[in-house]
Amino acid sequence: MDTCFPSQTFPGLDLDFLGPKRSGKVRDIYERDDQLILITTDRLSAFDHILGLVPFKGQVLNQLAQFWFEETSDIVANHFLESPDPNVTIGRKCRPLPVELVVRGYISGVTKTSLWYRYSQGERFIYGMEFPDGMSKNEQLPQPVITPTTKAEKGGHDELITSREIVEKGLVEAGLWERICETALALFVRGQEKAARGGLLLVDTKYEFGLAEDGDLLLIDEIHTPDSSRFWTESSYREVLDCSAQEEGKGLRPVEPENYDKEFVRLAYAEQGYIGDGPPPPLAVDLAAQASLRYTGCYEFLTGRPFVAGEMPVADRVASCLRTRFGRQ
């Protein structure tokens, strides 16, 4: 993959001694018995394409997920076992459930599965729930809602699905589904509380769950990262509310809150006229650099710790760590 930061970015790597590799959009995955080695790369995916590489993104995602797994382990068990390198997690291998849970605290978003998109198209009964007339974009919901989607096979699109359909189709057993929904809401509340301490609003987020071999329910993949979530700065959200109140009726476009997540890149593409039709233009160097600052900034706001970059080049460091650990001696 082309990159303007060849020695500072991490596109992924092939490690033959770990056996066959499976690649998601962002992670490279190797299986070892009942464990997974999840290597988080710097790939940035949006509009169902990998747009390019963002320096430090992989490390931020891996270390933020670890932070949150530790912060939420009293709510639900998770797959995290250890992180032998800043970009690597070793986790318990699971059978992932075929649905993802998106929890939303605000009515927002521009993609077709987002609440605001559907609401703005005139729908008032969305994801099996009733919404009143008169809501505005980015308004906080009276309470967070769960909007599930099916988990698409590689290359496919996630499809909307209601809780009733999930149970009726036998995708998840009723009792388990109820437990998962309660868990997701509890995780979301914890995320909002903790993010608020760093001046961020957790707007919405996605959770994945799996069942371990012994039947344990585990939170898997990642949690409350800027890839799986939207974060707004609390101060900018307050400004937007003030501004909208003043400008109501003047027909002005609402200003967007300042975001510390992937939406930043999506909005920059949308401003240049790209909204997902055809192949996307590659990620420009300055946009990659700005996105990098958003990702490391997000880490710092949420954890309250400075971001400390691991040794470069990342690929050499990851390879050497895993070779020492798993390679043939």
Ligand X SMILES: Nc1ncnc2c1ncn2[C@@H]1O[C@H](COP(=O)(O)OP(=O)(O)O)[C@@H](O)[C@H]1O
Residues lying near ligand X in the complex (CB under 6 A): 24-27, 29, 36, 79, 91-94, 96, 208, 210, 220-221
Whether the ω angle into residue 313 lies within 30 degrees of 0, i.e. cis, is yes
Q: How far apart, in whole angstroms, are the C-alpha atoms of residue 89 and residue 85? A: 8
**CB of residue 223 vs ligand X: minimum separation in angstroms?**
11
Which residue lies nearer to ligand X by CB, 27 or 57?
27
* Residue linked to tokens 């989607």: 149
**CB of residue 65 vs ligand X: minimum separation in angstroms?**
10
Which residue lies nearer to ligand X by CB, 209 or 264?
209
By C-alpha distance, which of 232, 243, 252 is closest to 301?
232
Handedness of CA 47, 50, 53, 59 (dihedral sign): positive
Q: How far apart, in whole angstroms, are the C-alpha atoms of residue 227 and residue 241? A: 25
**CB of residue 58 vs ligand X: minimum separation in angstroms?**
10
Which residue lies nearer to ligand X by CB, 22 or 197?
22
**CB of residue 27 vs ligand X: minimum separation in angstroms?**
3
Which residue lies nearer to ligand X by CB, 34 or 173?
34
Q: How far apart, in whole angstroms, are the C-alpha atoms of residue 91 and residue 33? A: 11
Q: What angle do CA 25, 27, 30 make, to 5 degrees?
A: 125
Q: What angle do CA 129, 135, 137 make, to 5 degrees?
A: 105
**CB of residue 265 vs ligand X: minimum separation in angstroms?**
16
For helices 57-71 and 174-197, give the axis angle rounded to 10 degrees: 110
Which residue lies nearer to ligand X by CB, 76 or 107?
76
Return the structure tokens found at 55.
């320096």
**CB of residue 25 vs ligand X: minimum separation in angstroms?**
3
Q: What angle do CA 298, 6, 65 make, to 5 degrees?
A: 30
**CB of residue 96 vs ligand X: minimum separation in angstroms?**
5
Which residue lies nearer to ligand X by CB, 79 or 230?
79
**CB of residue 95 vs ligand X: minimum separation in angstroms?**
7
Q: What angle do CA 37, 60, 301 make, to 5 degrees?
A: 145
Return the structure tokens found at 13.
């790597």
Q: Whose CB is nearest to ligand X?
A: 24
What secondary structure letter does DSSP report for 78?
B
Which residue lies nearer to ligand X by CB, 218 or 240?
218
Which residue lies nearer to ligand X by CB, 172 or 220?
220
What secondary structure letter does DSSP report for 18?
G
